[in-house]
Chain A
């Protein structure tokens, strides 16, 4: 392992400065806010956060929702990309698959309400067909206690993002290799395992971390579709941050930093597992 050469250093510098100077200072301030009580250094807020029943309930609820939504977004996104990438070279079709990304999350959540709530469009349809007679007979999907409405919204919204991240991979894959595997008598699954998986795996894992982190920290969808208790962690933190006399703000900082640290450690574990493999793979490409 060697030091970075000058040229490459310059290449990394803008990105590095941007993140470290802007985010670094923000993180430093957030940490300092979460550690000071009346000017004195204290871990009290972190203790408060982890002793708080609402926080623990919200955390496990949010982790569950984020996990399920991420898993299904990845799965559906991968399947659609794999089946359709050939057709998705057409610009028009690509745009259709990117439609959900054109709208902010808030609008997408709101669309869920219009379609799936007990007085939504599908409920009206069920009424017209004669399955139900009153709105309250319709299935509870929105604001249900398991967070199914939130999950559907995220899966619907994040799947196109997964497709967007995976499409370049499939477009750049060496598809002659796939034919080779097939002529040698391999099945679809063999093609996937030997030709595609090594390339999509890093992208898949990184994308899943991004999606996971986003769902944990985003506020709009649970605001529209969440139940009163438990609330998703982002909503709870938002309340602490803005509520009342601002005295809960340090607690909000402590909670946000804890969740970030949690995701960050997953990320660390993952990169240390993959970084070597990745480099070997890249070196081997094109030879």
Chain B
């Protein structure tokens, strides 16, 4: 690929990625924007005012954030060991395991929502934030297992064997050998899982039962109105949350990474 070609790809892809955001920002401050005008003719803060005067906005942001973080952590806890096992071991029924792991995203949530809700009622987790966290694991864990599965495969089991033959203990060898190599995958997983958790509406509403208000349950009803400035402002605040999580992640990585590597 020539330099010029690379630049061109950069330019166009970024144009395509950033344009919608700019559009949303402009839209959120517009009052009236009619066909034939490249920019709104009148401006207003109404879109933001509706958002910011929503009495439960702060509470909803917080619960979305903490639920998302909990879902992310549980995902890593569940998927890293599972991904490692599936990648390094060959055993009877492995295919069955692998297929079952991906099942939750192959089946529409509408189909399983009823059974899921009744299970949660019986486990006593319905109408509680814990239930929401558990339910958010379903559409996210399959992705994380996939991500770590292929990641461990690429690393291969040999590094650990070498470390073990040198006599280092299991946890330390994980921390010093795998962890740095896994960082790109962890970053992808953290981001993806948080976004998935954040945008769950139907399951959150059903299992949370209104006891827990998240940003999605506040925001989705507004999507069925013609008041576009409100939709735009909500969309923007919605998009900022995952960015804060990524920021936090980069910060933590810089603190905890055992040594700085070239692929950060």
Contact = CB atoms under 8 A, between A and B. Distances in A.
A and B: direct contact (Cβ < 8 Å)? yes
Interface in A15-52: 15-16, 18-23, 25-30, 33
Interface in A98-150: 98-104, 106-108, 110-111, 114-115, 119, 121, 123-125, 127-128, 135
Contacts of B118: 25, 29
A260 B111 contact: yes
B105 A124 contact: no
Given A27-B107, A172-B184, A267-B99, A11 B116 contact: no
Nearest to A262: B106
A263 B103 CA distance: 10
B191 A96 contact: no
A18 B89 CA distance: 21
Interface residues of B, number: 99
A169 B84 CA distance: 16
B104 A19 contact: yes
Nearest to B102: A267
A213 B81 contact: no
Contacts of B216: 104
B119 interface: yes
Summarize B's interface: helix, strand, loop or mixed: helix
Given A1-B92, A18-B78, A167-B184, A271 B98 contact: yes
Contacts of A167: 184, 188
Contacts of B231: 107, 110
A238 B202 CA distance: 13
B16 A156 contact: yes
A7 to B, nearest CB: 9
B223 A106 contact: yes
Contacts of A221: none
A114 to B, nearest CB: 6
Contacts of B126: none
Interface string A258-282: 0110011001100110010011011
Contacts of B243: 95, 102
A127 B35 contact: yes
Interface in B19-54: 19-21, 23-24, 27, 35-38
Contacts of A259: 108
A103 B95 CA distance: 34
B107 A124 contact: no
B158 A286 contact: yes
A124 B38 contact: yes
Interface of B: 1, 5-6, 9-10, 13-14, 16-21, 23-24, 27, 35-38, 77-79, 81-82, 84-95, 97-108, 110-116, 118-119, 134-135, 137-138, 141-143, 145-147, 150-151, 153-159, 181, 184-185, 188, 191-192, 195, 199, 216, 220, 223, 228, 231, 235, 238-239, 242-243, 246, 250, 263-264
